[in-house]
Copies of this chain bind each other. A is one copy, B any other.
Amino acid sequence: EIVAAAETLLDDGIKPLKGRKAIVTSGPTHEPIDPVRYIANRSSGRQGHAIAAALAKLGAEVTLVSGPVTIADPVGVNVVHVERAEEMRDAVLSALPVDVAVMVAAVADWRVASAADQKLKKHPGESIPTLALTENPDILKTLGHHTMRPKLVIGFAAETQDVESNAKAKLERKGADLIVANDVSPATGIMGGGRNSVKLIRRDGVEQWPDLAKEEVAERLAALIAERLR
């Protein structure tokens, strides 16, 4: 039903999201350890960028806040490039108010408590450094409980185990309307790859989507957003 709706919308060039504003985050964040080292993750940005493009195709005015990725900016989208989770949070909040927020970026949960100004050196005989971490801002949760909360707040959950139960807990905790959950265990090839196999976790149930190209996941999700905002 959603597929049929998506095809109709895209084929006819209907712009059901015309006049609507969207924020999408995408890619990893890089959290500095010192001037040359950082903590990163394997997110490629392919899923988030595809969602930004699909929303723009349906007529939405899209701001894409992207962490460091090697893929091209999607056309027809306003792209803000950031590195750290705090920068991503600031860019997202300054794009409010919007109708829908889709938080796809794999934001680092933690950053190094005090990043060094100079490159950490290995000195023979000296002890090995320990990286003390501190919690990063929770962008999805901030949006889910914000006074300018978007009508629709959608999060992504990248899990390697207990995908569904972790995602359900996340939905509640973050104040989100929908969590798109996927299993990013290395064996799945999802992180960095071209395909995705997602579960939609709503307050009233769970829907498993088939294995699809990330562009197809994006089109289906954009159609669903258009439906919900109608």
Mark each residue of chain A from 14 to 37: 1 if its CB lies under 8 Å from any CB of chain B, else 0: 000000000000000010011111
Copies in the complex: 2
In the complex, the chain B residue whose C-beta lies closest to that of A37 is B41
CB proximity to B under 8 Å, residues A119-173 = 119-122, 124, 128-135, 158-161, 166, 173
Are A133's CB and B130's CB within 8 A? yes
CB proximity to B under 8 Å, residues A31-66 = 33-43
A70 at the binding interface (Cβ < 8 Å): yes
**What distance in Å separates the Cβ of A213 from its nearest Cβ neighbour in chain B?**
21
Known: A41-B36, A119-B160. A128 touches B124 (CB 8 A): no
**How many angstroms between the C-alpha atoms of A129 and B110 in the bound complex?**
9
Residues of B within 8 A of A30 (CB): 40
Q: How large is the interface on A (under 10, 10 to 19, 20 to 34, 35 or more residues)?
A: 35 or more
Known: A118-B160, A122-B109, A128-B110. A42 touches B33 (CB 8 A): no
A210 at the binding interface (Cβ < 8 Å): no
A6 at the binding interface (Cβ < 8 Å): no
A92 at the binding interface (Cβ < 8 Å): no
**What distance in Å separates the Cβ of A124 from its nearest Cβ neighbour in chain B?**
7
Residues of B within 8 A of A184 (CB): 35-36, 119
Are B131's CB and A185's CB within 8 A? no
Are A134's CB and B124's CB within 8 A? no
A91 at the binding interface (Cβ < 8 Å): no
Known: A158-B36, A160-B36. A166 touches B128 (CB 8 A): no
**How many angstroms between the C-alpha atoms of A159 and B36 in the bound complex?**
9
